[in-house]
Amino acid sequence: MAPGRMTTAAAHATRASEPTASEIRRLSTLLDASQALSGTLDLKAALHRVLEILGRHHGAVRSTVVLLEAETGQLRVEAADGLIRQDAKVRYEIGEGITGRVVQSGRPVVVPRVSREPLFLGRAADRPELTHQELSYLSVPIVLNRKAVGALGVDLKFKPDRDYDRYVKFLGIVASMIAQALKVQRLVESERRQLVEENTHLRQELKERYDFSNIMGTSGPMRQVCEQIAQVARANTTVLIRGESGTGKELIAHAIHYNSLRARKPFVKVSCAALPESLIESELFGCEKGAFTGAEARRKGRFELAESGTLFLDEIGDINPATQVKLLRVLQEREFERLGGTETIRANVRLIAATHKDMEQMLSSGGFREDLYYRLNVFTIFVPPLRDRKSDLLLLADHFLEKFSRAHGKGIKRISTPAIDMLTSYHWPGNVRELENCLERTVLVCDGHVIHAHHLPPTLQTAEASGTVPHLSLKDAVAAYEKDLIQDALKTTRGNRAKAARLLNSTERILNYQVRKYGIDWQRFKTQRRDQA
Ligand SMILES: Nc1ncnc2c1ncn2[C@@H]1O[C@H](COP(=O)(O)OP(=O)(O)OP(=O)(O)O)[C@@H](O)[C@H]1O
Ligand SMILES: [Mg+2]
């Protein structure tokens, strides 16, 4: 046989394996449908698009997607196309009508002549005059995790020679694409819900954490600070918090935010001292792409991130003169531009600034602009150092003891009197933070139920020792320990020396002798102060 010529049989075979026009149409529809379903998270719109394609290219007079509603257990029309009643909220029970049966059984149904099918409800159908012609109805299940969760239904003009099997297969593929899109949408939705829940929970936790009740202090100065927080929190006033390092400035900034009308909006902190000079401006105001080498994309600054919320400028005393000028402008005009940008951005941000620096000295030396200082200094809260509020010290010590004892799973109940004396006689240059760290360390090294003087860190030991004996001899150390134990026993027995002696397995006579020797004022344990209990 000459090349290029085929037998009639071979030609037939080739023609049979060639796709027909309707197959090509179906393939291109599948491609379009998959693009529509994967291109968006708006499932309803994507379903409409798919149904529209079925109407335009596949002779669907009417088409619907019904989905099972988790709350009601009913089937609800999610999307529809063609001659459909737009107003009706069409619903089916599972097992009701043809659609209901398809979902119940998970199998497709074909009704070649709708007029002869008593089960056909046609609830979504509109304008019967247009559909008086005989119709066929095909419905295939939408299956997710091996369970039918809906159905895709199509009305076609009745044609006696229609290949229903092929059409059902084709619709089955479309339905499986819909199922896949549904799966993605439900995953995204459940993730989103989880995030929203988590966010609400975290916000609540933050609010509780920075609640007023967590700011410990009953001393006069601390009461005044709390009053000031209450006064200023709900206003939009700029607040300047001043105080030595570790006095609780950040805690107060949080308390102001979480008690303000902006509590549900972001609280954004900028540590001005921690940022290098070259970066601080872009951190605060953001930058446009290419504003400087390394700025590869447009980035929002902290002012934009804190929109409608609070911006906390920590260590404001450390910002450079150039940034001071820009900050002044935002404070005056409430607007700014991103670095390298021209668009002016409005700033709806409440400012709280904090510093441990001597601002007056910085003003006179020219390190800080006076005009900026007056803008910041609208409402100033001074947080007193811990050494000036001794009455807060034991309250804070108890608070941290309980916190760390719980955190480290220890059953520590109290602090012994000598240890209390050491805590109160120390000058706490690092303020509350130092006390907090000291208590954590002490809880870690303490192995009983009581914190004794020897559990306290060396800084405190040296402080005490430096006032009395520079180098403790063995004899002195034993004496100090003995004194510690006796005082503790007296405290337990509320100054009852006989009982204290019994507790120490000693006699009252020996105890009295030691009390005199160490100059212990046992009477003071009789009327025990509450804060030493
Ligand atoms: N009144 C208080 N009640 C309970 N905890 C406090 C109190 N004051 C401070 N703290 C705790 O002490 C620690 C230090 O506080 P904070 O970070 O607010 O200090 P700061 O003044 O910002 O210090 P710095 O100037 O060094 O940044 C924090 O863990 C805070 O929770
Ligand atoms: Mg701080």
Q: How far apart are CA 404 and CA 441, in angstroms?
A: 9
Ligand 1 center to 247 CA (angstroms): 5
357 lines ligand 1 (CB under 6 A): no
pTM over 0.85: no
356 lines ligand 1 (CB under 6 A): yes
User: Do residues 218 and 245 make contact, with C-beta atoms less than 8 angstroms apart?
Assistant: no
Burial zone of 82 (CB within 10 Å; 0-12 exposed, 13-18 middle, 19+ buried): buried
Q: How far apart are CA 381 and CA 250, in angstroms?
A: 12
Structure tokens at 68: 């099972």
Q: How far apart are CA 235 and CA 227, in angstroms?
A: 14
Q: Among 214, 250, 395, 404, which is best to mutate for testing ligand 1, by the most ligand atoms less than 8 A from CB?
A: 250
Residues 6+ apart with CB under 8 A from 55: 61, 63, 81, 82
pLDDT (tens, 9 = 90+) of the chain, 533 residues, equals: 444 444 444 445 445 566 788 788 888 888 888 888 887 778 888 999 999 998 888 888 889 999 998 888 888 888 888 866 655 566 777 777 888 889 999 999 998 888 777 766 666 554 454 556 788 999 999 999 889 999 999 999 888 888 889 899 999 999 999 999 999 888 888 899 999 888 888 887 777 777 777 787 888 888 899 899 989 998 899 999 999 999 999 999 999 998 899 988 999 999 988 888 778 888 899 888 776 766 677 788 899 999 999 999 999 998 988 889 989 999 999 888 888 888 888 889 999 999 999 999 999 998 899 999 999 999 999 999 998 888 889 999 999 999 999 999 988 888 998 899 889 888 899 999 999 999 999 999 998 899 998 888 887 875 444 444 455 678 888 888 899 899 889 988 888 999 999 999 999 999 999 999 998 888 888 754 444 43
Report the amino acid identity of residue 174: V
Q: Among 210, 251, 258, which is best to mutate for testing ligand 1, by the most ligand atoms less than 8 A from CB?
A: 251
* Measured CA distances, 515 to 212, 276, 520 (Å): 44, 60, 5
Collapsing DSSP to helix, strand or coil, 15 comes out as helix
Closest-lying ligand 1 atom to the alpha carbon of residue 244: 25
Ligand 2 center to 255 CA (angstroms): 13
What's the N-to-C CA distance of the chain in angstroms? 114
216 lines ligand 1 (CB under 6 A): yes
Q: For ligand 1, atom 30, which residue shows the shortest CA distance? A: 248
b or e along 209-244 (b: 16 or more beta carbons within 10 Å of the residue's beta carbon)? ebeeeebbbebebbeebbebbeebbeeeebbbbbbb
User: Could you tell me which of 317, 308, 324, 328 has the C-alpha nearest to residue 353?
Assistant: 317
Closest-lying ligand 1 atom to the alpha carbon of residue 383: 21
User: Could you tell me which of 70, 34, 28, 78 has the C-alpha nearest to residue 181?
Assistant: 34
Closest-lying ligand 1 atom to the alpha carbon of residue 217: 1
CA 531 to chain centre: 38
